[in-house]
Structure 1
Amino acid sequence: MGISAIMGIAVSGMQAQPTRLSATANNVANALTPGYDRTVTTFSTRPTGGVSASVSTSGEDTLPDSSNVDLASEMLDAIGAELSFKANASVFETGADMWDVLMSIKRD
């Protein structure tokens, strides 16, 4: 696997995290909406490498006078999205640094 492929996988991971964070923000905003069914983010691998994110409702039961949103798990999802984005950004930066080294070797 080449450096550019690894960087592409990292980019797909970074692109998936805003979808996850958006779903989490939507859940927090609707936590007090009666009958609201929380949304969940599902990640799937791409055949060419990387991930894609999709959002759907959880399908869990809700009470008519409340939602099924747990604010603690939503905060954990938000923190998880942040950490995942940072990890993928770090991989991308490392790949960019490796390209710089290879280009400086080629010039010399």
Structure 2
Amino acid sequence: MSDLIQSLALSASGMKAQANRLRYVSENVANADTPGYRRKLSTFEEEMSLGEATGRVQSGPVRLDQSDLEVIYDPSHPLSDATGHYDGSNVDLMIEVADARQAHRSYEANLKMFDQARQMTSSLLELLKR
């Protein structure tokens, strides 16, 4: 029985981590036109308990993408320098869409695992009642 409950915890941690990843993707999309904005990258770490790996995953620290910012020419922009250029963001919407799809699919896979473990636990309890 504890293995089934452990599998519920594993899939729930995966869903939580992917939901957090989707949050960063949505922040990146929302700030795609913000001058000087650097894309946020989500990392994952294995959860530790009493110095041992639990198998669960958690969101790690947020990293900022250090790739070059897009240089935009617009002399009328208030942030432009003497040459008429300013730094845009380094968010690529195609990459964000791909990341969102991947996070969504991973979330759905964890949800299916959670549902399977829940159904198995329910069936086991029904058998024990007899």
Larger Rg: 2
Cα distance in structure 2, aligned partners of 1:29 and 1:100: 42
The Cα RMSD (Å) is: 1.4
Corresponding residue for 2:27? 26
Q: Which runs of 4+ in 1 moved over 3 A?
A: none
List runs of 5+ in structure 2 lacking aligned partners.
Answer: 48-52, 71-85
TM-score normalised by structure 1 residue count: 0.92
Corresponding residue for 1:16? 17
Cα distance in structure 1, aligned partners of 2:127 and 2:69: 61
Corresponding residue for 1:75? 97
List runs of 5+ in structure 1 lacking aligned partners.
Answer: none
Aligned to 1:50, what secondary structure does the other structure show?
strand
How many residues in Structure 1 have an aligned counterpart in Structure 2? 108
Quote the sequence identity (%): 37
Q: Report deviation, 1:49.
A: 1.6
Of Structure 1 and Structure 2, the greater helix share is in 1
Corresponding residue for 2:54? 48
Cα distance in structure 1, aligned partners of 2:95 and 2:58: 22
Q: Report deviation, 1:65.
A: 2.6
Corresponding residue for 2:119? 97
- Tell me the alpha carbon deviations over residues 51-79 of structure 1, each in whole angstroms, 9 at most, x when there is no partner: 11132212222244321111001011111
Once the two structures are overlaid, the 10-residue window that deviates more, 7-16 or 42-51, is 42-51
Counterpart AA for 1:62: L
Corresponding residue for 1:36? 37
Of Structure 1 and Structure 2, the greater strand share is in 2
Once the two structures are overlaid, the 10-residue window that deviates more, 61-70 or 7-16, is 61-70
